[in-house]
Amino acid sequence: MRRLSLWLGAALVALVVLMALVSLVWTPYDPTLVVPGQRLQNPSAAHWLGTDAMGIDVFSRLLIGAQTTIVVGVVSVSIAAVLGVPLGMLSGQAGGWVDEVVMRVTDIAYAFPALLLAILLAARFGASPVTAMIAIGLATIPSFARVTRAGTTQVMSSEFVLAARASGTRWPGVSMRHVLPNIAPLIGVQASVTFALAILAEAALSYLGLSTAAIVPTWGKMLRDAQSVMFSAPLQALWPGLAIAMAVLGFNLLGDGLRDLLDPRLREVT
């Protein structure tokens, strides 16, 4: 059952990545090609998942949508990790007032919800995937910093770090050679869970019309379009919703599976 999470999660994530990669070189039809004569067709041999209200092939849109999902996830997780991990390591290694200040600032920032920040930025700078990614990334820095700090203090108290410090290794050496490699799996778990959160947040923003303004196909945008025709074509809402749920489930399960592989002492801090 435990390994089930890991493998099922990895398989679902692989499927989403595969969809994105395939869409780079091939989609059955142009995912932005509006064909007025082919509106809302049922699934058929020509259109595997039918066509939407604009006559666009749904399967092609679904494939391209995976790209947006992956890009948004990777960029927001990177922003959060690149800023949050060093902060957490600094806090965990320096201790004292540095630790206190960093953690209090994280406490303050932690409470500000990602979606609210995204809406705020969209109001000011206009709706785009970039503002969405930045908002999700910035809002999840605190959780990366917290997890990293907890892992770092755990590693810092271990004997090999004490030995390294006693033999004169300075903090950059300790950080790179001992702390980072040991907390890397922990950061992997956090990245996976944050990825799932980013997918959900981006989907909600696209659905609200706050991520992609134009015709760029995203799963959230597809759901928004599907809602306006849900009385005549309820199936339209099925596919993008399934795709989002699959991707989120995949990253959550992967995170859970990775967590179970962690060193028990590190598992406590997640």
Partner 1 sequence: MRILAFLGRRLGIFALSLLGASLLVFAVCAALPGEVAAIILGEGATPDQIAKLTAQLGLDRPWPVRYAEWVGGMLRGDFGTSYFTGQNVLQLMAPRIAVTLWLVFFALVLSVLVAVPVGMLAAMKRRSWIGFVASAAAQLGMAIPAFWAAIALVLVFAVWLHQLPANGYVPLTTDPASWAAHLVLPVISLAIVQASVLVRYVRSAFIEVLSEDYYRTARAVGWRPFPALLRHGLRNAALSLVTVIGLQLASVLVGAIVIESVFALPGLGSQLLDAVSQRDLSIVQGVVMFLAAAVLLINFLVDLSYAWIDPRLRTGDER
What does the binding site for partner 1 look like in residue numbers (CB under 8 A)? Answer: 1, 104, 107-109, 111-113, 115-116, 119-124, 127, 196, 200, 203-204, 207-210, 220, 223, 226-227, 230-231, 234, 237, 241, 244-246, 248-249, 252-253
Q: How far is the CB of 81 from partner 1 (least distance, A)?
A: 21
CA distance 225 to 54: 9
Nearest to 206 by CA among 248, 244, 232, 239: 244
- CB nearer partner 1, residue 179 or residue 223: 223
- CB nearer partner 1, residue 77 or residue 180: 77
Q: How far is the CB of 24 from partner 1 (least distance, A)?
A: 25
Q: How far is the CB of 174 from partner 1 (least distance, A)?
A: 31
CA distance 184 to 30: 40
Q: How far is the CB of 210 from partner 1 (least distance, A)?
A: 7
Q: Which of the 8 DSSP states describes residue 57?
A: B
Its sign, for the CA torsion 43, 48, 53, 56, is negative
- As beta bridge partners, residue 57 has 51
CA distance 57 to 53: 10
- As beta bridge partners, residue 255 has none
Return the SS3 of 80: helix
- CB nearer partner 1, residue 98 or residue 120: 120
- CB nearer partner 1, residue 189 or residue 248: 248
Q: How far is the CB of 200 from partner 1 (least distance, A)?
A: 6
Q: Which stretch of DSSP H or E encloses residue 155? A: helix 141-156
- CB nearer partner 1, residue 34 or residue 120: 120
